[in-house]
Amino acid sequence: MTLRRLPVRNLLRRPGRTAALTVVVAFLALSLFAGTVLVRSLNSGLESLENRLGADLIVVPATSRGKIDPEKIYLQGTTGYYYMDAAKLEQIRAIDGVVRASGQVYLASLRADCCSVPIQVIGFDPGTDFTIQPWISQRLRSELGFMDLVVGCRVNSAVGESIRIYGQSCPVVARLDATGTGLDTAVYCTAETMAALLEAAKDMNHELKIDGDPADVVSAIYVKTAPGEAERVAAKILKMRRPKVTVIQAKTVTSGVEASLQGVTRTIKVMIVCVWALAVILLTAAFTLLGGERRREFAALRVLGLSRWQLAGVALREALYVSLLGAFIGIGLGLLFLIPFAGLIESALNLPYLTPGWRTMLWLAGLTALTVCVVGPLTAMVSARRLSRPDISAILREGS
């Protein structure tokens, strides 16, 4: 029996006490780890949304005002059936201050009889697009061909499989990285493919409210302006007639999300602070009470020749082992909760949510374990210091 093994023996002697302390530490680790991952996932989601948005202005048909919620497009993947003449695109491009403009066409395949899976289809022009193309190019090196589809990470179709949309069989050629937004539930194709799908939808008597050729419509126009020109360009677009349009400033989408996100992250941070304050008080009280209970035993150790530092070391190592075990359990529970339920968390929060990769998770787990293993023994320090300076003579006297 050596001094090094004494803390473990002390912990094993009182399994109930050890378990109670471990639960408190595990709770501490769980709150810190899960809270940090949640905040980080929400921030990553917002960053991803901003990156994917890419445009300063989004122009949609005015007739659709009230039905189009830009946040819904990005957070829930709800597109819809609204179209305007593609000629509008050229008018916008001609406005001074517009750097780039590209149209997108939306088609939702929500009717089970038309398609193999319910999906949102977004058609874009690879020649002019600047919002979807950069994202797709990370996964698809070659050009996107006619009737080819690129799917968001949460669409249940693998590369090589085909999706049937309005009777047309479309092969999946790539699968995109997660964004934590509704864009993950959409599929992407070229404007040419979209025109063919719109034609097919019309042939199946699907009401699309398109006047004229499906190849000459767009659902939304994405506009990149010169720096500081967004508001002036938006005003000019709004003055245009035929067709009348609504201009959505992209920052209103992100700022709305950002405001919600700030509220959620603030709540999470406050909860983390409260849990930590409570846990630190609980742990300090627990270690102090336990120290009082063990005064005589610690005095005996001093009598046997332990120095103050060695005695404090025994108490601190006990706290460290409890902290390590608690951190392991807390982080494990955090992983069990965060990874399988990421989708549910996203739906519940209704905010962009992008779970960090395993490297980041590992780093956060390590950081949590380190923090807990520093804080746990620190709370025991008060008790350890008190125990290391006992009036041994008084304690070891009968009745003391």
Partner 1 sequence: MEIVASGAARRYPRPMGKASFFEAVRPVDLTLRGGEMTVLTGRSGSGKTTLLTMLAGLLKPSAGTVSLDGLDIYAMPDAELSRLRARRFAVVPQVAAPIMSLNVMENILFPAALAEKAPPVRRAEALMQSLDILSLRGAMPAELSGGELRRMAIVRALAAEPDFVFADEPTADLDDENTAVVFSLLREAAERGAAVLTVTHESDAYVYAHHVWQMSAGMLTQD
Nearer to partner 1, 224 or 302 (CB): 302
Nearer to partner 1, 252 or 400 (CB): 400
Residue 373: half-sphere exposure toward Cβ, Cα within 13 Å? 15
**Regarding beta strands 162-165 and 168-175, do their DSSP bridges make them parallel or antiparallel, or are they unpaired?**
antiparallel
Residue 393 binds partner 1 (CB under 8 A): yes
| CA pair distance 366, 378, nearest whole angstrom | 18
Nearer to partner 1, 182 or 390 (CB): 390
Which stretch, 154-162, 202-210, 366-374, 386-394, contacts partner 1 (CB under 8 A)? 386-394
# chain residues binding partner 1, by CB under 8 A = 29
Q: 120 vs 78, 107, 126, 220, 297, CA distance in Å?
A: 7, 6, 18, 14, 70
Nearer to partner 1, 3 or 278 (CB): 3
Which stretch, 82-90, 276-284, 370-378, 391-399, contacts partner 1 (CB under 8 A)? 391-399
The secondary structure of 371-392 as a DSSP string is: HHHHHHHHHHHHHHHHHHS--H
Residue 398 binds partner 1 (CB under 8 A): yes
Member of 137, 255, 347, 400 binding partner 1 (CB under 8 A) = 400
Nearer to partner 1, 2 or 142 (CB): 2
CB of 303 to partner 1, least distance (A): 5
Residue 243 preceded by cis peptide, ω within 30: yes
Residue 392 binds partner 1 (CB under 8 A): yes
Q: Is 82 helix (H, G, I), strand (E, B) or coil?
A: coil
Do residues 356 and 41 make contact, with C-beta atoms less than 8 angstroms apart?
Answer: yes
Nearer to partner 1, 298 or 353 (CB): 298
Q: Dihedral through CA 27, CA 33, CA 34, CA 40, nearest 10?
A: 160
Burial of 400 (0-12, 13-18, 19+ CB in 10 A): exposed
CB of 367 to partner 1, least distance (A): 33
Residues whose CB is less than 8 angstroms from the CB of residue 294 and which lie 6 or more positions away in sequence, other chains included: 387
Residue 154 binds partner 1 (CB under 8 A): no
Which stretch, 4-12, 66-74, 269-277, 329-337, contacts partner 1 (CB under 8 A)? 4-12
Nearer to partner 1, 227 or 305 (CB): 305
Residue 244 binds partner 1 (CB under 8 A): no
Residue 9 binds partner 1 (CB under 8 A): yes
Sole residue written with tokens 């408190």:
24
| CA pair distance 53, 182, nearest whole angstrom | 12
Residue 271 binds partner 1 (CB under 8 A): no
Nearer to partner 1, 183 or 299 (CB): 299
CB of 313 to partner 1, least distance (A): 12
Residue 3 binds partner 1 (CB under 8 A): yes
Identify residues 349-368 at the interface with partner 1 (CB under 8 A).
none
| Amino acid making up residue 316 | L
Nearer to partner 1, 342 or 381 (CB): 381
The secondary structure of 306-370 as a DSSP string is: --HHHHHHHHHHHHHHHHHHHHHHHHHHHHHHHTTTHHHHHHHHTS---PPPHHHHHHHHHHHHH
CB of 383 to partner 1, least distance (A): 17
| CA pair distance 53, 249, nearest whole angstrom | 11
Member of 13, 239, 241, 359 binding partner 1 (CB under 8 A) = 13
CB of 311 to partner 1, least distance (A): 9
Please give the order of strands across the beta sheet that includes 162-165. Answer: 162-165, 168-175, 149-151, 186-190, 119-124, 98-109, 220-225, 57-61, 245-249
Nearer to partner 1, 12 or 112 (CB): 12
Residue 16 binds partner 1 (CB under 8 A): no
Compose the 292-331 pattern: x for residues touching partner 1 by CB under 8 A, - for all others.
Answer: ----xx-xxxxxxxxxxxx---------------------
Residue numbers of the site for partner 1 (CB under 8 A)?
A: 1-3, 6, 9-10, 12-13, 296-297, 299-310, 391-393, 396-398, 400
